[in-house]
Amino acid sequence: DQQVKQNSPSLSVQEGRISILNCDYTNSMFDYFLWYKKYPAEGPTFLISISSIKDKNEDGRFTVFLNKSAKHLSLHIVPSQPGDSAVYFCAASASGQNFVFGPGTRLSVLP
């Protein structure tokens, strides 16, 4: 039972363009969402989060959008840089319980 889905296993984007990574969830009790970036042989690194009371959160080049009615969130990276190439995980939790991770999307930013 995949509570958190990332339907695109991979994404390629030109440097300087926008990267949009998508995430869908099924559990309506989720109230906190995070994006993590992961390089090979390293632990996930926190990028940005959003709570269910907001529909947008921005931090520098990273913006997360939340559409609660669609149970969908997306991460926008503008402009994309080669160093952004990594696997991106969407994660969700309900009332501070454990975080459920999606399967990840591998982003490749081409120079």
Partner 1 sequence: EPEVTQTPSHQVTQMGQEVILRCVPISNHLYFYWYRQILGQKVEFLVSFYNNEISEKSEIFDDQFSVERPDGSNFTLKIRSTKLEDSAMYFCASRTGTWGEKLFFGSGTQLSVL
Using CB under 8 A, list all residues that contact partner 1: 32, 34, 36, 41-46, 49, 51, 89, 91, 95-104
Residues 6+ apart with CB under 8 A from 67: 55, 73
CB 26 within 8 A of CB 73: no
Q: Which is nearer to partner 1, 102 or 107 (CB)?
A: 102
* Cβ nearer to partner 1, comparing 38 with 61: 38
Instruction: For the CB of residue 63, give the shortest distance to partner 1 in the complex, in Å.
Output: 17
Nearest distance, CB of residue 26 and partner 1, angstroms: 15
Q: Give the Cβ contact number of residue 64 at 10 Å.
A: 24
